[in-house]
Amino acid sequence: MPDLLANLNAPQLAAVTLPPQHALILAGAGSGKTRVLTTRIAWLISTGQVGPQGILAVTFTNKAAKEMQSRLAAMLPINTRGMWIGTFHGLCNRFLRAHCREAGLPAQFQILDAADQLAAIKRLLKNLNVDDQKFPPRELMHFINAHKEQGIRAAQAEAYDQFTSRRVEWYAEYEAQCQREGVVDFAELLLRSYELLQRNEPLCHHYQARFRHILVDEFQDTNRLQYAWLKLLAGRGGVPPEGGGACLFAVGDDDQSIYAFRGAEIGNMRDLQREFELANVIRLEQNYRSHGNILDAANSLIKQNRGRLGKNLWTEAGAGEPIRVFEAFSDVDEARFIVEEIGELVRAGAPRDQMAVLYRSNAQSRVLEHQLFTLAVPYRVHGGLRFFDRQEVKHALAYLRLIANPDDDTAFARVVNFPTRGIGTRSIEALQEAARCANSSLYNAAASLAGKAGTSLARFVRLIEDLRSETRDLLLPEVIDRIIDRSGLRQHYLTDKEGQDRLENLDELINAATGFLREEGAASGDGDAVPDGGPLAAFLAHASLEAGEHQAGEGLEAVQLMTVHAAKGLEFDVVFISGLEQGLFPHENATLERDGLEEERRLMYVAVTRARHRLYLSHAQTRLLHGQTRYCLPSAFLDELPPELLRKVGRAATVARPAVAVSGQATAPAGAGALRVGQNVRHARFGVGVIVSAEGSGPEARVQVNFGAGGMKWLALEYARLVPL
């Protein structure tokens, strides 16, 4: 057997060799927490303190569970497949399979995934004749799951108004439906397991006696019910153990708690300290991932949060390179810089698969994907779909395709009942049969159907005809905006709890159209109008081409694109964090939520600590939003980083120094028109100001204007529309 304790640092050694007791291991990013967990299990077994059957190890992903099992198999000559190592849902499923009768479930009960659960709720509401426009099924699903994760059944749910009272009634109906059909959703797996252990004391005593050591990874991501389940098994949850109870070994990092929107309760770590009377907390602060400058920046950032358990990451790897900060004129300029910098790094020998571009919002990927595609850089969107493959974008494009070509049956079938219009499967089948018999498109065949189906289909056809008429003389971005509103897509996603990202993607589609017109030079004269093709047809072709198989295939080195949430647990040699602007990162919704800014700062901390060797931070002065140019302020997080750790970078190829006249006054570069330094100008938003500096040329020209009370602003002349006075 290899020396399990070899190469452990002092805090890791202390954690691994703890005597049997409850413990909280505060493990910083890159501090080797997975190694500590697996080595702790191996140490307990190899020293005879517990057998493999006496271990319960809980992870948050199946991947982490499999990795833990493989590491243990390499450390010890045991079969790890029979050990209780897995996710909360996986372990509860195993428990309920063994005790299905006691749990009131059939032996062959089925598990509903998220899509199955939504379908079941839709079916329930239909049977109850509930209008799913007024009461969206997805919102009811979130309501049900949120209550289950708090351990609240329909019978215990409180209703303070009529709307909530209706939802509680449907929650009860849903429970009855699932019980009748012998199915359980994900939240039910845990809740039913907890309830069975709570009410069946002999069974609870059995598992309390069996599991002598309970080890939990990513403890900061646990919700209330998960914590209650752990407490119950450890003998602190209402059913006192007959023996001494299990030892709970929790590993986590309160600074990386970023899943509040999923129900994660950061307060569980403080509750653990109090309720389990922990004498001390072991801190793993030595980082084996990043260079010193990156860690110093992360430490400086996160110390702004209140109520932390507290730790300070450090490394023996040296300071490393300064953190590079790039200020772009626009979001397009930012994307261009990132892709060009990736190209330079690749030419210098850096592998593409060790580079990641992180962003706060999914919608930001569109501009980045376009630049990567244009410059033929292989990329892969991690943990999500490419922009033009996203459901809401494809829906909007389908409406556009119908306006361009009503005979497009694929587009017709996609949106004829989305958002829902009461056009069911039977109506579609009847329409398809009518189209086949008449040898026509679905659109033309719609007029031949009678009855309710014919009325609903005629209403949809009329909507498309109205849209064609209304958008005939509009600019392409305005066409898309109108379609998103009139089709009902915007309203549909406004009522969806998870609709914020989808709405941002729809807005980004408008931006994509605006950028497309600029790139193609079609934004002048009658070329903007969309009569019978023109820019619309060209944009649809562009969207289809960029939605093609341009992502790198398996096994091919590719740049990784992902949201910061998706990046948690990953690490890369080079990391770009883009869109560091107020309202974007931190997100504008953070100001509306309790402790929202602190959650955003933890998210930024996670982003920074993904980088091993080189970190880029970028922001733009202007960004397209809803087809309009928005002037942006740099993220407040940039001000929280020590200036000595940062190095501002630019591109000599596109940014020129301001020219200086003999008189000592700066003159505006080529492309600035009649504007000059010292001139008074008027801006539609900021008012009257004076130009104090100018730089760049052509489409990259910009000026710095002092607007007095409005402050100093850098403005891109291509978008600013300054009026000389």
Kindly state the helix (H) or strand (E) to which residue 658 belongs, with its residue range: none
Interatomic CA distance for residues 563 and 565, integer angstroms: 5
- For the chain, counts of helices (H) and of strands (E): 28, 23
What separation in angstroms does the CA of 541 have from each of 194, 416, 534? 54, 22, 11
| C-beta pairs of 660-666 under 8 Å, 24+ apart in sequence | 666/693, 666/694
Active-site pick, 185, 188, 217, 581: 217
Asked whether the beta carbons of 255 and 284 are under 8 A apart, the reply is no
Alpha-carbon span 298 to 577, nearest angstrom: 13
Structure tokens at 209: 């006696």
Q: Are strands 355-359 and 559-563 parallel, antiparallel or unpaired?
A: parallel
Cβ atoms of 369 and 379 within 8 Å: the answer is: yes
Amino acid, res. 228: A
Q: Are 436 and 392 in contact (CB under 8 A)?
A: no
Q: Which of 12, 256, 315, 514 is catalytic?
A: 256
Question: Is 473 a residue of the active site?
Answer: no
Selection from 510, 610, 513, 615 nearest residue 563 by Cα: 610
Q: Is 217 a catalytic residue?
A: yes
393 class by beta-carbon count within 10 Å (0-12 exposed, 13-18 middle, 19+ buried): buried
Report the half-sphere exposure of 653 (CA within 13 A, side-chain side).
Answer: 5
Nearest CA-CA partner of 387 in 471, 476, 510:
510
Q: Is 392 a catalytic residue?
A: no
Three-state DSSP state, 695: strand
Listing DSSP states for 184-223 in one string gives: EEHHHHHHHHHHHHHH-HHHHHHHHHH-SEEEESSGGG--
CB-based contact 217:60 (threshold 8 Å): yes
User: Which strand ranges, in their side-by-side order, compose the sheet holding 247-252?
Assistant: 84-87, 55-59, 213-216, 247-252, 23-27, 281-284
Pairing of strands 702-706, 712-716: antiparallel
Is-contact 703 694, C-beta < 8 A? yes
Active site residue 455: no
Q: Which residue has the tokens 């772009």?
A: 328
State the DSSP code for 633.
Answer: P
Query: What six digits make up the tokens of 177?
Result: 């439906």
Rounded Cα distance between 212 and 65, Å, is: 19
The identity of residue 527, as a single letter, is: G
Across the beta sheet with 723-724, the strand order is 712-716, 702-706, 687-695, 680-683, 723-724
User: Strands 213-216 and 183-185, how do they pair?
Assistant: unpaired
Query: Three-class SS of residue 586?
Result: coil
Q: What are the tokens at 153?
A: 């059944």
Catalytic one of 12, 33, 167, 508: 33
Decide: residue 719, CB within 10 A, 0-12 exposed, 13-18 middle, 19+ buried: middle
100 beta partners? none
- The active-site residue, picked from 352, 401, 602, 610, is 610
Question: Which residues carry out catalysis?
Answer: 33-34, 217-218, 256, 610
